[in-house]
Amino acid sequence: MNRETVRSVWYAAYGSNMRLERLVYYLAGGRPPGGRRTYPGCRDPRRPARSVPVMLPGLMYFATESPVWTGGRAFYDPDGHRHVPSRAHLLTPGQFSDIAAQEMYREPGQDLDLTEVLTHGRAQLGPGRYETLVCTGELEGYPLLTFTAPWRREDVTANRPAAAYLRHLVAGIVAAHGWSARRAAEYLAGCPGAEGEWTVAEIAALVAERS
C-alpha cells in the first residue's frame, strides 16, 4: 500500500482527540471552551466518516509539559507491552495530514508523504513531540495511523498530568469504549507519569466534580 492508493485512513487518537467534541476544532478550526490555543483547522473540515473504539498494542505515558493543559501530555510507545484504549476516526489522508501538522505546531495545508510509515510502520518527520508517525496495522482495509514522539518511554522523564487533562481523557475513554469512569480511572492511574502521582479515587473524583 502506498500514498497514491490510500483514499482513507484511520486516525487512532489515544489522547484528548478521542472526544469528537475536541477533534472538531482540529477539523473546522477555532478555540475549544477554556482552551489556550486557537486551531487553524483542516482544508476539509468535515467530521470523520466513522469513529470506532480500538485497542492499540503498546503503552501510553505522560511526559514533557503541555502548553495547552499544563502538566504531562500523553504519548504512545508502540513497543510497550500493554494495550492503549483509543478511538479511530476515519478521515481522508489530507485531513490526517492537517491534524498531524497542528499537533506538530506546523501550518496545515500540505499532504504528508505516507509511503515510509505505510511501508515500514514508522516515519520520523522531526525530533519533537508528535512528529513521528506510526502505523499499527489495518482496520477494514484502511491503515491505522497515529503520531507520537520519536523516543521510547524509558528515554524520557515522566511528568504528572494535570487534573483537567485527566478529566478530559476519562471522558474520551468512556465515550469511545463505554467503560465506567472508574475503569477509565484505573487505566490512567497505571500509566507512567500518573502512576504514583494520582490514585484511582482521585481521578474518578475529577469526573464526579463535573457531573
pLDDT in the model for residue 2: 46
Cell of 155: 528515554
- Residues of the chain whose pLDDT is less than 70? 1-5, 34, 209-211
- Residues contacting residue 146 through CB under 8 Å, at least 6 positions apart: 11, 12, 13, 14, 56, 76, 86, 133, 134, 136
pLDDT in the model for residue 209: 64
Separation of alpha carbons 82 and 129, rounded Å: 21
CB neighbour burial string for 58-89, b if at least 16 within 10 angstroms, e if fewer: bbbbbbbebeebebbbbbbbbebeeebbbbbb
- pLDDT digits 0-9 by tens, 129-179: 899 999 999 999 999 999 999 999 999 999 999 999 999 999 999 999 999
- β-strand partners of 4: none
- What is the pTM (predicted TM-score) of this model? 0.94
pLDDT in the model for residue 210: 61
pLDDT in the model for residue 127: 87
3-state helix/strand/coil string of 36-64: CCCECCCCCCCCCCCEEEEEEECEEEEEC
pLDDT in the model for residue 4: 52
pLDDT in the model for residue 6: 81
- β-strand partners of 206: none
